[in-house]
Amino acid sequence: MNKFLLKIRILPRWIIIVIDLIILFFSSLLAFLLRFNFDYSRLGSFDVNKGILLFTFFGFLSSLVTKSYAGIVRYTGMQDAVRILGTVIMGSLLTFFASYIYFEINGMNLLPVSVIIIAFLSSVLLLFSYRLFVKQVFSYFLNKEKKIEQVLIYGTDKFAQMTRQIIEEDSGKYYKVVGYLDDNKKHVGKIVNGVRIYDARNDLEFIINSKKIKELIISDRNISIEKKNELVDACLAKSIKVRIVPPVGHWIKGELSLNQIKDINIEELLERESIKLDNYNVSLELKGRKVMVTGAAGSIGSEIVRQVLYYNPELIILVDQAESDLFEIENELKLSKGTLKVFPVVADITSEVRMENLFKEYEPQIIFHAAAYKHVPMMEKNPSEAVNCNIKGTIILADLSVKYKAEKFVMISTDKAVNPSNVMGASKRIAEMYVQSLNNYLKDKNPDATKFITTRFGNVLGSNGSVIPVFKRQIDSGGPITVTHPEINRFFMTIPEACQLVLEAGVMGHGGEIFIFDMGKSIKIIDLAKKMVMLSGLEVGRDIEIVYTGLRSGEKLFEEVLSSHENTLPTYHHKILIAKTRLDKYEDVRNNIEILINSAQDNDELKLVGIMKYIVPEYKSNSSKFEALDKKRILSID
């Protein structure tokens, strides 16, 4: 039997039409008999044969209009039920009107209203029932030799029901949903389409063990991050696969398919609760304004551009020297937003002439400065480039912002600027010092001068060169995963979250502030690596090895958000704080930086880094060739 069903796969359309006609014919005949209690003598006052043929004909005609025969029977669902209902309603109404006209012309009733109603009800019931029967026959014979995979679904709403229908109709495997999980005590114990709802907190371990669960699918999009991690940890401990249903907005053509239900990834487990922004004030700040974003092709810069576009600026100038990446982000924005407000510019922020031409041409009112060299080991080997890009580039942009009367300059900094242990972090700290001292210098002279605002945050998930993409590549290639130290940990934040907070800080800033973001709890990198291996369905030590390589040059075990000399002040947004830092005189900072930039041309790395340590006394190298400079620090750079 199963070989025969496999051979036909899809029941031919003509067979479905013939069966539908038979059912319509039988339903109208049955309706007559039921209406008159099987008393054949009472049928003489009606033209029964014509009545039955009329009901059957109009039912057939309606099915051609609604295409109720077109669905694949073994995938019958609610959409098919609605289509059948529409077909029979249309056919019944047509029959009623035709019967009325026939009575007016010939004086004989073909079908009384009561017969039409009974025929309508029996037709709907029988047409849908036989489809369900065929579906069950196909399901039984096609899947009886397959290995059954017991599945749990977290959620009980309509999305959970859709998920169940889709996975149970998959032809590659035989999935059987044996339970729903819910945290709502009112739902626990109830039955939905023959499947019981269990308590997600108290029943999880019991049902995993008793039902031999192979897979958990999370369909509830309102699940908290904590609950999601709790479920995943429980499942990974039992080697149970976890998948997740994507948001409705990501469904292809508005419909969910099995291929869209993906394995849960590490980014979804490191997310935090969504941020509530003061969109009104952000909109007031950005709507109709000319905005410049440097580093616009990078991870942070490109997301800032996407979010700024939402607030309908007059134009956005995208500045980056990575022409291929700039081309990609321009195309993405024009395809998704259909905007003509994007002006991509291939340029190096250390070119003063090029930057001045851009300011002169576009006159940006708000600048988001995200361009920077950020890779710690790379900048440890190339300190002059860190000075040129991260410090000199920032000074050029800041000075031009003042000259061309920009309203605000928002600099993107890093937690590595706090008590820096490497060249990159020190270069960002010096850039912070410059824009903060410049702001305070200008404020005393002209209250309407450009406002300079700094934002600091840690690692962002999925950014170029971050640890998660590296680990993914290492797992895909069979390992090993390389971790620098078993105790190393980092703060993580999603790119959209970081950029939302940048916009919010830019709005609330009055100039001179260094805003820091609530990064949540730090995460051990080794724990991150282990979880990523388990999410891939592999086992650490058996399938993938983890190798410790030692701290890289300039790398810390623990990142900080504030130095020991700093404290914070709250803002109206609970995730944004103001760092209270020491205030440096603008003239001193400017003079020191000029000496530093001139030294970057001398090809003397020790001298260059020594000057950086003089400017930033808290800068102490770690696992670096520059550690020797900490023993004998430069006392003067005059």
Catalytic positions, written as ranges:
416
Q: Are strands 241-244 and 262-263 parallel, antiparallel or unpaired?
A: antiparallel
Record the tokens describing residue 584, joined without a space. 């440096």
3-state secondary structure 541-602: CCCECEEECCCCCCCCCECCCCCCCCEEEECCCCCEEEEECCCCCHHHHHHHHHHHHHHCCC
Which amino acid belongs to residue 55? F
User: Alpha-carbon distance 83 to 69, whole Å?
Assistant: 9
Token pair 């006392």: residue: 635
* Strand-pair partners of 368: 293, 410
Q: Of how many residues is the chain composed?
A: 638
Residue 376 near residue 413 (C-beta atoms within 8 A): no
Q: What is the DSSP string of 348-370?
A: -TT-HHHHHHHHHHH--SEEEE-
Residue 288: other Cβ atoms inside 10 A: 12
User: Alpha-carbon distance 621 to 618, whole Å?
Assistant: 10
Look up residue 216 and give its DSSP letter: E
User: Alpha-carbon distance 186 to 176, whole Å?
Assistant: 24
Distances (CA, A) of 168 to 71, 161, 270, 517: 17, 11, 30, 45
Nearest-10 Cα torsion for 564, 566, 567, 571: -140
Chain-centre distance for alpha carbon 405? 38
94-97 contacts at long range (C-beta below 8 A, 24 or more positions apart): 94/58, 94/61, 94/62, 95/54, 95/55, 95/58, 95/59
